[in-house]
Structure formats: C-alpha cells, structure tokens
Amino acid sequence: MANSEIFASTVGSVSHNTIFLKDETESILIPRFCDLNVVQLCLNQFNKLNAIYIDSQISMFFKSQHGGPFCYIISENLRKYFGDDVAEKYTQEDFETFLAYVRYAKSIELTENPQELAYLKNILPEFMEQLKNHKDLIQKFGITLN
C-alpha cells in the first residue's frame, strides 16, 4: 500500500488502512450510510490524503452505525466519477441488490432509519419509482412496496 497511487474502498475498517499510504495519495471512499466516519476523517488529515467521497449507498435499514447491514449500489455519482456514460440511473443489479437488502432487513425485523431516510430524500423517491416498473423482480423477492 505504501507504493499505491490510488486507493479505493468502502468506509470502515478496510479504509482505515489508508494509514499506510504515502502523503497526498488519492483515496476514493464510499460511505456506508449518511454519517461520516470520524476515524477516517482523522486518517485522511494525518496522511494529507486527497480523499474523494462518492455516495453510492442506499442503506435505509441498519442496526447500528457499525453493525449494518449496509446496501451499496452502482450510483450515478460512482458511474460519473469513473466516466461511465450509461444513460440509465439505476441498473437491474441495483434493484436486485436493494430488494435482497430489504428482504434481509425485514427478516431480522429492522425498521427504517429516520436519519438515513432524510439523507436519501433526494434519490429514494426516484429509485423507488423506477423499481416499481420491475414487478417481476419485486415478486421474485417477495417484497411489498408502499
């Protein structure tokens, strides 16, 4: 890692390995929910990293900030960063990932996290509207959408 020019990771224990990067390394970080990880912010500053945060999660259910479960999608922000010119905002894989996440969260009786719902207010309605067009997937996963 000491010789890396670019580091990419979700934020959490894995991203804390940035402590081994040389100063000013580009560090692409994908948060797992709406709050920024204070430890990671300190590590970014300590190593003078060029930290780039790209929101690519839709984690509306979780037990605790550290315990998940968390849900990542290939967001429009992530595709733009990597120069992907895909016309659609969300893919079939995004919807499948989200439905599997919802099914699991409901199976362990998690409720929606209000703080995260407020954070996702700009993307969640559109995501859900597009998801409703995938009736076959919704049925396959046995999810009821409101």
Segment among 4-8, 32-36, 39-43, 45-49 with least mean pLDDT: 32-36
Helix (H, G, I), strand (E, B) or coil at 34: coil
Q: Which of 78, 5, 12, 4 lies closest to 40, judged by CA?
A: 12
Strand partners, 64: 68
Give the tokens for residue 121: 């207010």
Which residues does 13 contact at the CB level (< 8 Å), separation at least 6? none
pLDDT tens-digit series, residues 59-113: 999 887 778 899 999 888 888 898 887 667 888 999 999 999 999 999 999 989 9
Q: Number of H helices and number of E strands within the chain? A: 6, 3
Give the tokens for residue 116: 């995260």
